[in-house]
Structure 1
Amino acid sequence: MSEIKHVEEEVNFQKNDKFTLTMIPGKFAKAMRTCVIWQFIRFIIINIKMIIVVGKSH
C-alpha cells in the first residue's frame, strides 16, 4: 500500500507538461472531505461565525 502512495506522489512530481507542486491529500483528509456528517458540522460552524460577524457590524 505504501508503495502505491509513493508511486502516486512520484507521478505528481515528474518533469513533463503536467508538472505541479500540489499536495496529494492523505487518507484522513480524503475521509473528512467525503464525510457528510463532518461537512454538515462545518457548515453549521461557518454559519455561526458569519452570524457573529454580521451581528457585530449592525
Structure 2
Amino acid sequence: MKKEEVNFGKSRDFNLTMIPGKFARAMRTCVIWQFIRFVAINIKMIIVVGKSH
C-alpha cells in the first residue's frame, strides 16, 4: 500500500483527507515559487482595485 493510500484503509476511522503528492509538497515548500505566486496575486489585486476606482 502506498503512503498516499494509508488514509483510505478499511478501518472505522475512515478519513477522506487527501495527502499531497511529491510535486504539490515541493511547490508548497519552494520559497521561489511562493514569491512568484505572491507577486502574481498582488498584481491581480492591483488590477481589481484599479478598476473599482
Q: TM-score, normalised by structure 2?
A: 0.81
1:20 aligns with 2:1: no
| Number of aligned residues | 52
Unaligned runs of 5+ in 2: none
Structure 1: which 4+ aligned runs deviate by more than 3 Å?
Answer: none
Q: TM-score, normalised by structure 1?
A: 0.76
Of the two structures, which has the highest relative contact order with CA contacts closer than 8 Å and spacing of 6 or more?
2
Unaligned runs of 5+ in 1: none
What is the aligned-residue RMSD (CA, Å)?
Answer: 1.5
Identity fraction in percent: 81
